[in-house]
Amino acid sequence: MQTAWMLRIGFAMVSMFLAVPSGFASDMVGKMEKALMPGQLSEAHAKFEDDCNECHKFFEQSKQNVLCVDCHDHENIKKDVEAKKGFHGRIPGIKDKECSVCHREHIGRDADIVMLDKQTFNHEETDFVLRGSHLTVQCQGCHKPKKKYHEAKHKCIDCHKDNEPHKGKLGKVCNSCHRESAWSDFQFDHSKTKFKLEGKHKGVQCRDCHPQERYLATPKKCIACHKTDDKHEGRFAEKCKECHAPSGWAQQHFDHDKDTKFKLKGAHKLALCNQCHKKDENAYDEKRSKECYSCHKLNDEHKGQFGKKCQDCHNTKAWVKNKFDHDETDFPLKHKHKKVACRDCHPGDIKEEVSTKCYGCHKKDDIHEGNQGDVCDECHNEKGWPGGASFDHNIFRFPLLGAHAALACEECHDSANFTETKFQCYACHKEDDAHKRKLSTECGVCHVSNDFKAWEFDHDTQTDFKLKGSHKGIDCLVCHREKVKLMEDIKLPEICYGCHAADDAHNGGFGRNCDRCHTEKAFDEVDMDALKVGVPQ
C-alpha cells in the first residue's frame, strides 16, 4: 500500500513538472528523486547518489538487471546464467530474479551489498569443487589480489607451474597422473603404454627409468636399464628375460635340467651361475668337463692325495656329507672324531698306515707334557678333552667332597702337571684365611668342605682350656695373636695374668693369681668367700 501511495504521488509530481521548462524541471526532478530516495547508497555507489538515472530507468523495471550487468561488465555471469554453470548459473530460478534480490542497495554507506562470506561459502556450488589438499588451501592461494573471483584459473598448471618438477616435458595436463590428495599420489596407468609394469617394476621410481624426464623413445630391453646389474658381465648375452622375470632377479625360469646336459642336484641347485661359469669361459661351451674335479680342484682339501674321483666319497648335497663309512675300518669314528677333517688324521697318502692310539694323534695336544703318561683314554674319552674326562678323583688321596665336587679342575690345578698340586687346605685357601694364620694352617681342624662358614671346633674337649663365663663369647683372635703353622705350635699362658696383665687394677699388689678373687664371669665380680680364707676372726 505504501509503494502504491508513493507511486501516485510520483505520478502527480511528474505530471506537474511536465508543464514547466525543461531545465527547471530537470533540476526539480533531481531534488525530488533525492527526497524520495529510500536510504543512502553503499560506499561503492555513493558517487551516483545524485543521479538516479545511472542505475534506474523510470517505468522500465525490466531493464534493471541489464543496467547492472552493463555497468559492472558481468558478461561472464550472463553466460553462466544462460549455461546454468558457475556460481550464479546454479542458483534456482536465477533468470526470473532481480540482481537486487541478493545485492540490495540504499541500506547505508557501510553496507555489504556483495554479501560473500568466505568462511561459509560453499565451493561446491562453483565449477571448481574443492577436494583433497585443495580443502586446506587459503582463498588467496588461488584468488589473487585485485582479481575477481571468477578470474581464478581451473587448470592445475595455472597454479602449480612453479612447483612442476617435469619442467613442461610431460605437458600441462597434471591430473592425467596426479590426484588432488597429494602430488605423490599419482594414478598414471602405465599399462596403457607399450611397457606394462609387472613385478619389481611396480615399485620403481619414474626417474629410475626416465632419467632427466626422458619419456619418449625410452628403451624397453632389460639390458638397457640393468647393464650395471648384470652379474654375468655379458657372458650370457643381453637376453635377460630368457632366464629372469620381472618378479625379481632371484626368480629365474631357466631350467638347467632340461636346457643343458648337466642336471643340478643337491648344493648345485643353490650355486650361483658365475660359480661354475667363470669370467674367462664361454658360458655356453657344451664341451666343458662335467667331472667334479674340473670345478672343485681349488676346494680339494686333500690336495690330490685322495685322487680326482670326488664322487667316491662325496655327494652333491655338501662336501661334509660324504658316503665313505669309516666305521667299516679298524677305527670307527665316535663323538668328536665324527667331525674331524680327514687330513687331520691322514696328513699324507691315504694308503699310509695311521696309528689308532690316542697319543699318536694327540701328543701335540697333551697339556700334561707327558707327566700323566701316554694312555689318554684312562681319563679322557672321545666326547671331548675337558667334557669327556672320566678320572675318578675319589680314589685318589684327596676325594672331592662338599663344595670341592663342583669345582673345575683348573681351580686347584694351576698347571697340567697334576702331581705337583698340593692337597693341604691352606695351599688353595690362603687368601680366604680370615684368621691370618693365627689359628694355624690346618683349616680342616675347624672347617668342613661344604662351606667355610660352617665350622665345628670344640674348645672344651679339643684343648686343655675350657671356655667359661665371658670367655665363651670372645673372639678367637683376642687370645690367639701369634701366627703359627700347626695347631701343636699354639702356646698360650696357663694363668689369667698371662692375658690380663694390662687389666690388673692392683698393679701386681695382690700377685698374679687373679682367680683367687675374681671369676670368669666378669672382672667386677669378686668371690667374697675366697677373701675370708686365712683371715683372723
Q: How many residues does the chain have?
A: 537
Region 272-301 average pLDDT: 74
**C-alpha grid cell, residue 238:** 643381453
Which percentage of the chain shows pLDDT scores above 70? 87
Q: How far is the C-alpha of 257 from the C-alpha of 26, rounded, in Å? A: 112
Q: Residue 286's pLDDT band (boundaries 50, 70, 90)?
A: low
In this prediction the pTM is: 0.35
Q: How far is the C-alpha of 66 from the C-alpha of 530, rounded, in Å? A: 148
Which percentage of the chain shows pLDDT scores above 90? 1
- Phi, psi for 250 (deg, rounded to 5): -70, -25
**C-alpha grid cell, residue 239:** 637376453
CA proximity to 246, closest of 276, 209, 301: 209
pLDDT tens digits for 383-415? 877 666 677 787 778 888 888 888 887 788 877
Number of neighbours of residue 371 by Cβ within 10 angstroms: 13
Answer for the pair 443, 456: CB distance below 8 angstroms, yes or no. no
pLDDT tens digits for 431-465? 888 889 989 998 888 888 888 778 888 898 988 88
DSSP per-residue letters across 95-122 = GGS-GGGTS--SS-TT--SS---TTT--
pLDDT at 355: 83
Q: Residue 44's pLDDT band (boundaries 50, 70, 90)?
A: confident
The helix or strand, by DSSP H or E, that contains position 422, with its residue range, turns out to be none
Distances (CA, A) of 409 to 395, 405, 467: 16, 10, 41
Answer for the pair 62, 36: CB distance below 8 angstroms, yes or no. no
Q: How far is the C-alpha of 99 from the C-alpha of 71, rounded, in Å? A: 13
Q: How far is the C-alpha of 431 from the C-alpha of 319, rounded, in Å? A: 54
Q: Which of 212-216, 303-307, 503-507 has the highest mean pLDDT?
A: 503-507
- Give Rg (Cα) of the chain: 58
**With 80 as the cut, is the pLDDT of residue 251 above it?**
no
Q: How far is the C-alpha of 285 from the C-alpha of 276, rounded, in Å? A: 12
pLDDT at 239: 77
Distances (CA, A) of 503 to 506, 524, 525: 9, 11, 14
pLDDT at 253: 79
Between residues 126 and 532, the one the model is more confident about? 126
Single-letter amino acid code for the residue at 228: T
At residue 252's C-alpha, the angle toward residues 247 and 257, to 5°, is 155
Residue ranges of domains in the chain: 368-421
Where would I find the H helices in 383-483?
425-429, 459-462, 476-479
Answer for the pair 333, 326: CB distance below 8 angstroms, yes or no. yes
First vs last Cα of the chain: how many Å apart?
157
- Contact partners, residue 131, CB within 8 Å, separation at least 6: 180, 181
**C-alpha grid cell, residue 228:** 650395471
SS3 of residue 182 by DSSP? strand
Between residues 28 and 266, the one the model is more confident about? 266
**C-alpha grid cell, residue 221:** 630391453
Distances (CA, A) of 150 to 65, 86, 155, 195, 503: 19, 8, 13, 42, 118
Task: Calculate the average pLDDT of the chain.
Answer: 80
- Phi, psi for 526 (deg, rounded to 5): -110, 135
